[in-house]
Amino acid sequence: MKAYPHLTRPGRIGTMWLKNRMIMPAMGTNLGNADGTISDNIVNYYARRAAGGIGLVITEVCSPEHEGICIPGEMEIGDIKFMPGLSRIPHAVHANGGKVALQLAHAGCFSTEALIGTRAKTPSGIGSLQLPGENPRPFTLEEIRDLIQKYGVAAKRGRICGYDAIELHGAHGYLPLQFFSPYTNKRDDEYGGSLEKRARFALNVIREIKAQAGADFPLIYRMSGAEYVEGGFTTEMACQLAIWAQEAGADAIHVSAGTWDARIQNFFDVMAGKLSSEGLNLTDGIGTSVWVPPHYTRRGSMMHLAAEIKRHVTIPVVAVCSITPDMGEEMLAAGDADFIAFGRQTIADADFPKKLLAGRPETIRTCLRCNECLAEVMNNCGLLCAVNPEAGQEYEVYQQCLPTRAPKKVAIVGGGPAGMQAALTASERGHSVTLYEKCGRLGGQLYYASIPDFKLEFREYLDYLIRTVEAAPIEVKLGIEADVDTLKGGGYDEVIVATGAVPMTPDIIEGDKADILDPLAVLDGQITPGQSVLVCGGGLVGCEVALQLGEKGHDVTMIDLLDGIAPDMAIYSKWVLQARLAEAGVKIYAHHAITKMEKNDVTCRNLETEESVELTGDSVICCLGMRPDRALLEALIEDGSLPVTPVGDVNSARKLMQATQEGHAAARLI
């Protein structure tokens, strides 16, 4: 057993007692109703996190007025009609032993005219580089004073609804930050100019919330410890704001970083070839990725900001940003923070606080920081998770993995993530499960995906899956390639086929196909390419092979048909990947159709100029996609004697999330 005495001990924020020092920060879900009201799903989503043992749940953004929303279906509290629904969340969280804070957030320049029906309002009419088509207008003084009052009314309503605290969102470019930043605030009245005047909006909102909701009602101020834009505010300025926020009545400071425009102009200039990436440290955070860092970035990149602000205030400080339990424990022990916020980890495994309390961190389902959750939300869909098939679908019928009333003998063929998830779910329900894997190890494609150092979380998740399968009553048969006769002779009632996919070998290869390197063998170290490498294909496999080789010192050129890389990746994660490729010196020939591959040469056609381009290297790696391995599936269908269900890449080569979802769903239906 491993103890976490600091994370697991109780703490206070103002008058609010919390059973431990672990907080779930606000994260968008799109699980609410389209009209801004509360759905059964979002209530159950928050209740499930509370049931997992988290000390405090902070809701996603909730706007004090309709013009402050920036997400379709965003929660609102600008009218009493929203209160009945909003009150369901604290009732559900309290029933599961947790506390909950309502986050009040006004998007300002992040609102769009199409969404709110009018021009967005900002301190000086300055918008965001990410919304170039918008034309926001400045707030009038009367509108500022009216909005400050609306914040107070919203907080009062939140208290009446049963919330234990309010979090005022002043980070990431939301409205209090827009007023505080010299980058977005060019006013010359009482709300602009000097540092103190730019801070006035945030401080007046804090005072108004305290006046209307009560001085004893806890208020957390969430702020960026640095803005990371040219002409924006510094950490020194942020520390002064934290001091003033405490004096105005804030009971805690929650320290994040950045804004929507963080480093984005530098990024665009680097990608356009106008600027070198050298010295810019782009990978540490591009735009939104500053506070939703993917696995390409280091963990805990904002811890120093929380520690610095902690030195300037006496109220509790909350640290956030991909902090592991071990890192959080060390930070609390050192006095650099008072609480640790675990965001996407609560999505991946709602029970992780209970597992820490039990001293069993090895049983935690690791968050991959793959940002598939963010991608779903950015696509205006409801939140899902690559490793937790229940996340975002906590409505009762789906969530419950009910014991079977008629246990069956189930064979699962394929030991990748789809097969392992199916085996775990079927076993949990009480079926007798045998898992076949033709290789000598479990993992499938996840094994290769977990090899690069920048995929450490994938490695941890693979280890978790294997440990969990080994601990379950599942018979694992490694090194056995199950065929129709094997399965028919095993007396199985159901067969789940999870045989995955294999790399494609295109017809454009000339000469000996063995001269063209297999990307999986390269990742696994079975093959060492030469110094100069041509990577054919800019999908995720191609990008990560190129990145791994580039960071090892190889001279890498990547060629792809499309005008961009990794087309299925969430945009903010893609920006970070692009930045890291640039920092590794990887050259990219986008919009080039490959017409011929040979041992040391690749011929392609520039789709813009129609000119033929010949590239030469010591090695050529083919990363032009994967094809489903359907041989067993088709043989079973042809035989027709066994019920069979295909899951994962055997259906179509896709992502880990689809493998997890399909494996879980298939086993639930047996």
pLDDT at 202: 98
- Residue type at 297? T
CA dist 531 and 525 (Å) reads 15
Task: Look at the domain 513-624 and name its fold.
Answer: FAD/NAD(P)-binding domain (3.50.50)
- Reported as a single tens digit per residue, the pLDDT across 176-229 is 999 999 999 999 999 999 999 999 999 999 999 999 999 999 999 999 999 999
Q: Do the first three CATH levels of 405-503+628-668 and 513-624 match, i.e. the same topology? A: no
What pLDDT band is residue 397 in, cutting at 50, 70 and 90?
A: low
What are the catalytic residues?
174
Task: Look at residue 359 and tell me whether its pLDDT is greater than 70.
Answer: yes
Alpha carbon 578 to its chain's center: 17
Q: Is the pLDDT of residue 609 over 90?
A: yes
Entry pTM? 0.95
Q: Which residues pair with 589 in a beta bridge?
A: 559
Residue 39 DSSP code: P
What is residue 233's predicted lDDT score, i.e. its pLDDT?
Answer: 96
Q: What percent of the chain has pLDDT over 90?
A: 89
Domain range list for the chain: 11-259+286-396, 405-503+628-668, 513-624
What are the start-end ranges of the H helices in 21-140? 40-51, 83-86, 88-95, 113-116
Q: How confident is the model at residue 511 (pLDDT cuts 50, 70, 90)?
A: confident
Q: Convert the pLDDT of each residue in 297-350 to its tens digit.
A: 999 999 999 999 999 999 999 999 999 999 999 999 999 999 999 999 999 999
Mean pLDDT calculated for residue range 536-553: 96
- For residues 154 and 209, what is the distance between their CA atoms, to the nearest angstrom? 8
Which whole number is the average pLDDT over 266-294? 85
For residues 597 and 516, the answer to whether their CB atoms sit within 8 Å is yes
Cα–Cα dist 354/363, whole Å:
10
Q: Which of 237-241, 311-315, 393-397, 539-543 has the lowest mean pLDDT?
A: 393-397
Q: pLDDT per residue over 632-661, tens digit each?
A: 999 999 999 999 999 999 999 999 999 999
CB 157 within 8 A of CB 83: yes
Q: Please, what CATH class does the domain formed by 11-259+286-396 belong to? A: alpha beta
Which band of pLDDT confidence, cut at 50, 70 and 90, is reported for residue 164?
A: very high
CA distance 62 to 57: 14
Q: What percent of the chain is modeled with pLDDT above 70?
A: 99
Q: What is the residue type of 123? A: P
Instruction: Tell me the pLDDT tens digit for each residue of 443-475.
Output: 999 999 999 999 999 999 999 999 999 999 999
pLDDT score for 288:
72
The CATH H-level (homologous superfamily) assignment of domain 405-503+628-668 is NAD(P)-binding Rossmann-like Domain (3.40.50.720)
Cβ atoms of residues 441 and 484 within 8 Å: no
**Could you read off the pLDDT of 38-71 as tens digits, one per residue?**
999 999 999 999 999 999 999 999 999 999 999 8
pLDDT above 70 for 398: no
User: Is the pLDDT confidence value at 399 over 70?
Assistant: no
What's the Cα-to-Cα distance from 23 to each of 209, 344, 369, 438, rounded to whole Å?
Answer: 22, 11, 18, 43
| Integer Cα distance of 188 and 449 in angstroms | 53
CA dihedral (104, 192, 137, 265) positive or negative: negative
Read off the pLDDT of each residue in 281-296 and give the average, rounded to a whole number.
83
Q: What is the mean pLDDT of residues 2-23?
A: 97
pLDDT value at position 72?
86
C-alpha to C-alpha distance for 627 and 621, rounded to whole angstroms: 17
Measured CA to CA, the distance from residue 423 to residue 667 in angstroms comes to 7
Is residue 404 pLDDT above 80, yes or no? yes
Q: Which of 215, 228, 237 lies closest to 159, judged by CA? A: 215
pLDDT of residue 396: 63
Query: Where do the H-state alpha helices sit in 162-234?
Result: 175-180, 195-213
Q: How confident is the model at residue 286 (pLDDT cuts 50, 70, 90)?
A: confident
Mean pLDDT value across residues 482-508: 95
